[in-house]
Amino acid sequence: MKVLKVSINDELDKKLRAQAYQVYGNSKGALSRTIEDALKMFLYLPIKNPNPTMGENIQIYEKMKEKLEKEEFGKFALILNREFVGVFDSWEGAQKKVLKMHSNAEHGLIWQIGVQRKKRARLGWKLKIVGT
């Protein structure tokens, strides 16, 4: 196992952590698992022009969001190159589909449908109230 030290801007850090907690919860290792997933996707998808269709993929999801939340709550929607590919039971299932279709993918979006994770904080210390 390797340890990498990288610098990213604050906005990207917020988005990355939000995605990590949404997919893996606020558990130890969530951020590392998210970064590993992102790196796997990066290594398998040829990048012609970074994120040329990202906004359009998000718009497609937003248009379908209400219907998907009613019919497929908790599952994972996959949108690639401005095209809705399908709904999968797991993030890994959607990722496998992306890897099979990677030859011409410019941008992909895997979104867990309708799930809003509660934000929790891990303080790193315990509070003990002694006598009153």
Residues with pLDDT less than 70, the chain: 42-53, 102-106, 116-132
72 is a domain residue: yes
Both tokens of 71, joined, read: 């019919």
48 is a domain residue: yes
Distances (CA, A) of 77 to 11, 29, 41: 24, 24, 16
86 is a domain residue: yes
Give the chain's domain count.
1
18 is a domain residue: yes
> Would you state the pLDDT for residue 104?
61
Q: Which domain holds residue 102?
A: 10-112
Burial class of residue 70 in the structure, from the number of CB atoms within 10 Å of its CB (0-12 exposed, 13-18 middle, 19+ buried):
exposed
